Amino acid sequence: SYKNGQWRTPGEVIGREVDFVAGKGTYSWHHKVVASVVGLQHIIPPSPDAADQRPTVEVRRQEEQGAVPEPGVVVTAKIRKVQPRMAVADVLCVGTRAVRENFRGIVRQQDVRSTEIDKVDMHTSFRSGDIIRAEVLSLGDARAYYLSTAKNELGVVSATSDAGVAMVPINWQEMQCPVTLQKEFRKVAKVC
């Protein structure tokens, strides 16, 4: 049962931890290597000069897994709701890959910018419908990831004005509608 090409299902014990290194698609539990996804098992022999001579076992999915936000990764998100102390957003892309399912993110008041974080007014930083670039801080709670826009290159990249026209950034705090010439406040990303 150690052949390559063997189908494995989540929870299925593949072998002992003394015999194998748990690779992608597996995890080690009670000194055994257990599959965590549905896929084909692959055994990768160790390199000859490695200290640990155990082969690595991987379980590879048939389909490519959709993008999932990870801490430290820059994501593109759309603001859904702005509340007094946080903004709720839906993650659209992780890096350059679009996501396949819905991920919620929260930008808290203290994570909007790096200076004067207790004086942040959420309403002058984001509005519903804005597209933002944000960094994933952590996996957050059961409901949403925690996002941060506290760097120069993070923040609002695309927004529409009250008149419904795409706005042009003026500086890191303001964007202007080209039709009505009205300025609106946003935390603008410095896109070079």
Partner 1 sequence: MDVESSVPGAGSPFVNRIMAPGDVVLDLTKASNVLRLGSGLRQDGDNIAMTKVGRLQFKKPNKYWVEGSQKRYIPNTEDVVLGIVVDRRFEMFVVDIGGPTYASLPMLAFEGATRRNTPNLQVGAALYARVVKAHRDIDPELCCTDASGKAAGFGPLNGGYVLECSTGLARVLLSKPTSPVLEALGKSLSFEIAVGMNGRVWVNAATTATTILVSNAILNSEFLTAAQQHIMVQKLLQKSQ
Which of helix, strand or coil describes residue 109? helix
Q: Which residue bears the tokens 């022999």?
A: 45
Least Å distance, CB 82 to partner 1, is: 5
Residue 4 interacting with partner 1 (CB under 8 A): no
* Nearest-5° Cα angle at 182, 181 to 186: 125
Question: Distance between CA 4 and CA 52 in Å, rounded?
Answer: 21
One of 21, 59, 82, 154 touching partner 1 (CB under 8 A): 82
Facing residues of 188 across strands?
Answer: 156
CB of 182 to partner 1, least distance (A): 9
Smallest gap, in angstroms, from Cβ of residue 33 to partner 1? 46
Helix (H) or strand (E) holding 161: none
User: At which residue do the structure tokens 């509340």 appear?
Assistant: 83
Does 84 sit near partner 1 (CB under 8 A)? yes
- Straight-line distance from the first to the last Cα atom of the chain, in angstroms, rounded to the nearest whole number: 54
Among positions 127-166, residues that touch partner 1 (CB under 8 A) are: 127-128, 163
Stretch that binds partner 1, among 2-10, 89-97, 123-131, 141-149 (CB under 8 A): 123-131
Range in contact with partner 1 (rule: CB under 8 A) among 32-40, 58-66, 82-90, 147-155: 82-90
Q: Which residues are near partner 1 by CB under 8 A? A: 82-84, 123, 127-128, 163, 179-180
